[in-house]
Amino acid sequence: MAPNTIARSLSILICTVLSLSFVGCGSLSTSVNQPVSQPENLFNIAPQIIAGDSIRSIQFHRVGNPSSAPILNLCENNQLQLQFENLSIDSKSYRVSLSHHNPDWSRSGLPPERFMEGFQTLPINDMEVSRNNRPRYRQYTFTFPTEQFQITKSGNYLLKVEDSDTGYLILSLPFFVSENAGALTSSVEEISVPRQNLRRMHRPVSQYSLPDFVEQPQFDLEFYFAQNRFWGRARQADELDFSAPDHVQFEVSQREAFIGDYEFNFLALNELSQTDNNVMEAYPAEVPPRLILRDDAEGFTSSQRINPARVGPFGEPDMNLNAGYANVVFRFDLESPPDSTTAVHLLGDFNNWSVSSNNQLMYDQQTDRWTANAIIKKGNYKYKYVWVDNEEIQDLYLDDQFVNNRQQYHAFVYMRDSAEFYYRLLQVQTFFSE
């Protein structure tokens, strides 16, 4: 049996053991291969709303630090900034509101007046029109907290963006508000696995020094880890040590370990023309210009390494108003094509890591390649190809499985507040594997 076939079979087994499965939705109207049921996207959290086709180039981070995760420290002078662009012809007005959530992203019992001061809804007043008209777009910016829009409680939040005219919810994004109480130190333990499994496994391990107000840590605290800012895949620590009086050690068991060599391809789209090294063909007369990328081949990782400090769900689009968009065509040389019950999808920073009929690869008989396209702004992005089999997503199936990329992790410490009946977020830490 060929090495790629053996690796693929073992990858499916690992995916099953790790329960990387999804529930189906959606369809596709025309294709060479018949569409299969589309799985729900668990790269994002369950209540998150994925932007429609006209909303592009989302950025959500701390002010002044575009590579940071959306985390605020309560009662400190820090702000988050949301930016996005609308490619529709019509001018739109939007308003913003917040909701408070538990660690599992179910809605908490706190009404807005309990976690906010000032206005509970604010309009997005900062809008600029692009200087690039192929196509023209509008860029919206919202920065908070402000004097009119204050947050008073720690925890998990959703930032919600609605169309002011229709009330339609177009976008919701998770963020975190930490009390920065106590201290966290974290590291990543690499698990030795049998060579035939072909996978490195990571067990994040953290030690939390308790603040004075935590009196019953074994009853009141919960701990979570997330990898590569895929908040929908956060895992609760299931091995806890409360034996020390002043700190708690928490980690995930081997059963809940993360894939230690999780792989991304990298697209540096520096020029929207054939002068870009990634572009094989360009059609500049079209609006937006159509770019056909050089082939991706199964079993070969992108030659460019990913800086883990940049790993996030939105990439690094060029937010300059002169920067343009392109209709980017990805071509994949797939050794084992899907059948009537399977499909391959293109997921990346540019489509919110959402499995949908819009990014299912289709067979092109003329080139003997599998293709998908996306409207992408000039910038830097991560992406990968995922295999869908009978409503199960196997995002390890097409990896080459021999890379050793660093992984980014976040550790979260929550405390149940029995007096006010909500989960406080005491501490968050960002750390990396070796």
Dist CA 203 CA 238 (whole Å): 11
pLDDT of residue 24: 31
Residue 301 carries which side chain, given as an amino acid letter?
Answer: T
pLDDT of residue 37: 46
Sheet harboring 55-62: ordered strands across? 55-62, 80-86, 138-144, 126-129
Which pairs count as long-range contacts for 8-13, CB under 8 Å and 24+ apart, including other chains? 8/336, 8/397, 10/196, 10/197, 10/198, 11/198, 11/199, 11/394, 11/396, 11/397, 11/399, 11/401, 12/394, 12/397
pLDDT of residue 312: 77
pLDDT for 42-74, tens place per residue? 788 988 987 778 999 999 999 999 999 999 999
What domains does the chain contain, in order, with CATH numbers? 55-178 (2.60.40)
DSSP 3-state of 13: helix
pLDDT of residue 301: 59
pLDDT of residue 26: 31
pLDDT of residue 397: 87
DSSP 3-state of 408: strand
pLDDT of residue 340: 87
Dist CA 429 CA 422 (whole Å): 21
pLDDT-flagged residues of the chain (< 50): 1-37, 196
DSSP 135-151: T--EEEEEEE-BTTEEE
Dist CA 406 CA 410 (whole Å): 14
Dist CA 22 CA 309 (whole Å): 28
pLDDT of residue 406: 87
Contacts of 8 (CB under 8 A, 6+ apart): 336, 397
pTM for the model stands at 0.89
Dist CA 208 CA 252 (whole Å): 15
CA-based torsion, 364, 366, 367, 368: positive or negative? positive
| Closest to 356 in 3D by CA, of 347, 367, 366 | 347
pLDDT of residue 7: 43
The two structure tokens encoding residue 105? 């992203």
pLDDT for 354-401, tens place per residue? 888 899 999 999 999 999 999 999 999 999 999 988 778 888 888 875
